[in-house]
Amino acid sequence: MLDKNGIAKRIAREVKDGYFVNLGIGIPTLVANFVREDIEVEFQSENGVLGMGPFPFEGEEDADIINAGKQTITTLPGASFFDSALSFAMIRGKHVDLTILGAMEVSENGDIANWKIPGKMVKGMGGAMDLVASAENIIVAMMHTNKRGASKILKKCTLPITGLGCVKKIVTNLAVLDVTPEGFQLIERAPGVSVEEIKNATEGNLIIKGEIPEMKIA
C-alpha cells in the first residue's frame, strides 16, 4: 500500500519531457518533488505563475510570490507571471498538458466530485471546475477508500459533481486505474496489494485483464 508520497511518486512517472503541468492542492503538490531531473517540465499555478520552483530558503520568502495553496514559492529560469484571466485562458484553452488533482469521489464514466460535502462548510471550488471542464489529460490522486473504509471509486458519484466525464487515470494508495468506456481498468497494483483487495475496495465496475503487474516506484 502507498502513502501520500508514494502516490505522488507513481504519478510523477506520468509527467513527460516538455509538459506544462497544473498541480492541485494536497497530494498533487508533492508530485513536483519526484519528477525526473533529466526532463524539462514547467509547473503552472492558477494564481498566475508558470515555471514554479521549490519553496524559498528561510529569510528569502516574498509575500508577492505564492502558489494556489497560498504558500511562499520561488520561480525557475524562464518563469512568467500573468493575471487570473490569462491563467485560465491557458487552462481553458488547453495549453496545459497535464492536470493532477485530488478527489473525494470518481465514477465509472470519469465524473469527479471534489468540492462540496452537503451539510459541511463549503469552501468553494476554486479553479477545479475550470480545470476539469477543459483539461484533456487529468490524473486524479486519491485514497481508494474513505476513513470508514467505503469505496471512493464508484458506479456513480454521490456528492455534488465538479465535472462530467473528465478523469482519464486514477492513482490511489492501492492501484493505478484507467477510466475506460467499460469501467475502471486495473493497470497496476500497489506494492504488497492483491487484486482481491483492490476488487473489495472498488464499488464501480473493475476490469481485470490478465496478470496485473505491481507498480514500480523508484
Chain residues 132-171 in contact with another protein, contact rule CB under 8 A: 133-134, 160-164
Residue 194 lies near another protein (rule: CB under 8 A): no
- Of the chain, the end-to-end C-alpha distance in Å amounts to 15
CA distance 87 to 98: 15
Catalytic annotation present for 58: no
Buried/exposed code over 89-104 (b: 16+ C-beta within 10 A; e: otherwise): ebbeeeebbbbbbbbb
> By the 8 A CB rule, do 40 and 17 touch?
yes
- Out of 14, 42, 46, 108, pick the active-site residue: 46
Residue 2 or 154: the one with the smaller Cβ distance to another protein is 154
Three-class SS state of 140: strand
Selected range binding another protein among 47-55, 142-150, 177-185, 210-218, rule: CB under 8 A: 47-55
Residue 119 lies near another protein (rule: CB under 8 A): no
Hey, which residues are catalytic here? Answer: 46
Q: Which residues bind another protein (CB under 8 A)?
A: 45-49, 54-58, 60-67, 69-73, 81-85, 87-88, 91-92, 116, 121-130, 133-134, 160-164
